[in-house]
A and B are shown apart, each in its own frame.
Chain A
Amino acid sequence: MTDFDFLKQKAFETRKETLNLAKISSGFRLASSLSSVEIFIALYYGGILKFNSKNPKLEERDRLIISKGHGSISLYPILADLGFFDKTELKKISQPDSFLGDIPDTRIPGFETINGALGHGLGVACGVALALKNKKSDSKIFVLMGDGEFYEGAVWEAIMFAGHHKLDNLILIIDNNKISMLDYCKNIIDLSPIEEKFKNFGWITKKSDGHNVEELFNNLFSLKNNKDICPKVLIAETIKGKGVKQLEGDVLCHIKSLKNEEIDKAIKELIL
């Protein structure tokens, strides 16, 4: 039985730790990293993702490619908490002797790929999915993408490819926070209805509140165990900057940095 109160507690702590990281490095994408917190919690603490923190390259692990690389700084405290690397590393984020940068790379135990440039993760995941099938592996390949990445044409090459090749070991999670760098996605090029688009390419789709750990867990569990011969996508409806009043609802929150006193205030205002 999954303890959802425990997951909520972990989400609260992760959000707090991510804000603390923003006091050390003001350069990373805070708002984008806050929208994906509960997705990471469900994957890592909910037991959806098979991993071994002491042997991150374990062949039997599930793979996770984070295509929105910049928006995954909230994974740093999670990986440290789970023992992928020492917690003292967090205090050195973006310092000269650290491997934790404003955009993660593969020197960090637990990161499979480097994804500073957007729209690449799903295509690479298609190759991983083919490889796992060839190995007759039970492992799954998860991908986390931001909705803003859908403007990259290569993403659609990969969506078509995965559908055609029935990559049933591939599970895509869209952190659908609805805001790109300069505007709401619906004002740039409206992506809706995103679910219908995936259905047309032969994917199984599900939608979830992207901040409700129980709903996220149930949907991911269901997709991971779904035996249909096709790729799967979970559209997680999220809020960019979730949990921080100054970021939530600000269309330009992607590029917003907070002063230390604003961060302290935001931490005090976090709700479990």
Chain B
Amino acid sequence: MNNIENKILIRSMRDVFIDALRIKMKENNRIFFVSADFGSPALDGLREEFKDRFINVGIAEQNLINVAAGLGLEGYIVYAYAIAPFITMRAYEQIRQNLSIASQINPINVNLIGVGAGLSYDMSGPTHHCLEDLSIMRLLPNFSVFSPSDWKLAENFIDYSINNNNPKYLRFDSKALPAIYENIENLDFENGFYELAKGDKICLISTGYMTHRALNTAKILNNIGVIDIFMLKSINENSLFDKIKNYKYIITIEEGFIGNGGLDSLVSKIILDYQSGIRLKRFGINDKYVFELGDRNYLHKLNKLDENSIINEINKLS
């Protein structure tokens, strides 16, 4: 399961997820797919096959959420699909009132799929980067926040998303990425994380794309632990603390703003709540948007999110 050498299959998590969903839509006629004029190769087949349950609302994320909420009120399982910064931030009040607040009284199963986690739309600039979503979506009561690091996790989340009657945010990378996980049919999503490598004094905790960086880093250095957090909300805090309590240093790595509610906040809260003496070092984007142009590796170097920058910091610790 935690074979970190398994990097053979490179696939796009959104296409794998949509292909799996298409099979579910055949079996279950209570599933709707609503898009804000956003596609994917896999979606072409789905929208052709389910003309009555695929709706394109146009470039109208506010209406995307409202239409999804209305379908959800009537008991349908809904997937709403758009580029990550737009589905979260353009429509935040629709999400707040009609999903987060509403579902506290009457559960609604609406799954927001945001494509373009972090800097994955690297060349498109700061409007298309999504560095705020982990913070602002974790903030919403009654929501789950799912941030997979590979397509296998994404594929396996299908059943969880259908069977759990609450609003969820699915943060998908826009790039095809290698598989990290194997044989995870029985993965416990409620636990919220997976220990990919055990370490000695130092453990890297990451989410999404950055788990690939964490694994690369751990391959270069010896005795570094790696934990992949895929449920940014909600996670089994007892279980996570149990895994990290014997480390001297925890290093969080996320492709998002740090210090304001994202992965680092999740981990620092646990360390604080358990009154642990673990030292925390945080990697992410500081309080500035990224205007520089270049591929993701280049943008990561600029923001000290590349393996070398992480290794330099680790060497300072030990």
Contact = CB atoms under 8 A, between A and B. Distances in A.
A and B interact physically: yes
Interface in B62-97: 62-63, 65-76, 93-94, 96-97
A123 B61 CA distance: 11
A132 to B, nearest CB: 7
Interface in B27-72: 32, 52-53, 55, 57-58, 60, 62-63, 65-72
Nearest to A116: B97
Contacts, number: 95
A130 interface: yes
B105 interface: yes
Contacts of A127: 66-74
B140 interface: no
Interface residues of A, number: 30
B102 interface: yes
Interface in A126-173: 126-132, 134-135, 153-154, 157-158, 160-161, 165
B74 A113 contact: no
Specify which of B63, B74, B97 lies most central, judged by the most chain A CB atoms within 10 Å of its CB. B63
A117 B96 CA distance: 10
Contact of B70 (A116, A117, A128, A160): A128
Nearest to A127: B70
A107 B96 CA distance: 17
Interface string B112-143: 00000000000000000000000000000000
Contacts of B66: 120, 122-124, 126-127, 154, 158
B98 A120 contact: yes
A105 interface: yes
B215 to A, nearest CB: 41
List the 6 shortest-distance A-B pairs measured between CB atoms, nearest first: A127-B70, A123-B66, A131-B74, A157-B63, A154-B62, A127-B67
21 contacts: A106-B102, A106-B105, A113-B98, A114-B97, A114-B101, A114-B102, A116-B97, A117-B96, A120-B94, A120-B97, A123-B67, A127-B70, A131-B70, A132-B74, A134-B32, A134-B52, A134-B53, A157-B63, A158-B63, A160-B60, A165-B55
Interface of A: 105-107, 112-117, 120, 122-132, 134-135, 153-154, 157-158, 160-161, 165
